[in-house]
Amino acid sequence: MAKYAAFLRGINVGNIRIKMTDLQACFRDLGFDEVKTFLQTGNVVFNTNKLPGSLVKTIETELSDRFHYTAYVQIYALPELQQIIENYPFAALDNYHRYVTFVSDAEVIPKIIDEAAQFEWIDEEIQAATQVIYWRVPKGNTIDSSFGKISAKSAFKKVLTTRNINTLEKMVSAA
């Protein structure tokens, strides 16, 4: 049985409200074991024997049907997530957030980097990898930051979701 992390995009912000107990029940109803949620933002760890290629479509369909919204989900095997965490390139600084932006379509990364070149970068850094973009930004500036503005664009809504390294570490260690 393999362990996975699922990241749901855009829940418990705006009009999409899902209780974590309901989210856990949804994943259990899909036949997943040892389902755990983290925070209220759609972070789920679970076990399954199902093939990874079928997980995204299965989960998105069930979430959309059950909770009446268009679901976007990204799935990572726990060892893969651990590697992403270990590859974080920036030092931890007290007054900065450390984020990972997960990208479900790798073709989008060059487009984001091209857009990023148009901004004046003050006190924040990004670095692209194969399937993620690493980001460090001063606390309190996330939404107004250059990368925050880029990643919030509707053109990227379906393919990006961002998580704090601290949350990712908790997910891996609790699994």
Helix axes 52-67, 20-29, angle to 10 degrees: 130
Nearest-5° Cα angle at 85, 18 to 106: 75
Convert the pLDDT of each residue in 145-155 to its tens digit: 999 999 999 88
Average pLDDT over the chain, rounded to an integer: 93
What pLDDT does residue 102 have?
A: 97
Q: What is the pLDDT of residue 120?
A: 78
Q: Can you read off the two tokens belonging to residue 106?
A: 């790798």
4 within 8 A of 59, measured Cβ to Cβ? no
Residue among 88, 29, 38, 94 at smallest CA distance from 63: 29
Tokens of 18: 């899902």
13: pLDDT strictly greater than 80? no
d(CA 66, CA 37) in angstroms, rounded, equals: 17
Two tokens at 72?
A: 């976007």
SS3 content of the chain, % helix, strand, coil (to 5): 35, 30, 35
Domains of the chain plus CATH, in order, are 2-80 (3.30.70.1280), 86-174 (3.30.70.1260)
Residue-by-residue DSSP string for 32-80: -EEEEEETTTTEEEEEE-S-HHHHHHHHHHHHHHHHTS---EEEEEHHH
Averaged pLDDT, 52-81: 94
Token representation of residue 64:
């959309």
Strands 73-77 and 2-8 come out as: antiparallel
**Can you name the residues that pair with 33 across neighbouring β-strands?**
47
Q: What angle do CA 87, 92, 94 make, to 5 degrees?
A: 160
Question: What's the whole-number mean pLDDT along residues 82-94?
Answer: 97
Please report which confidence band the pLDDT of residue 75 belongs to, taking 50, 70 and 90 as the band edges: very high
Residue 57, pLDDT score:
96
Higher pLDDT, 120 or 50: 50
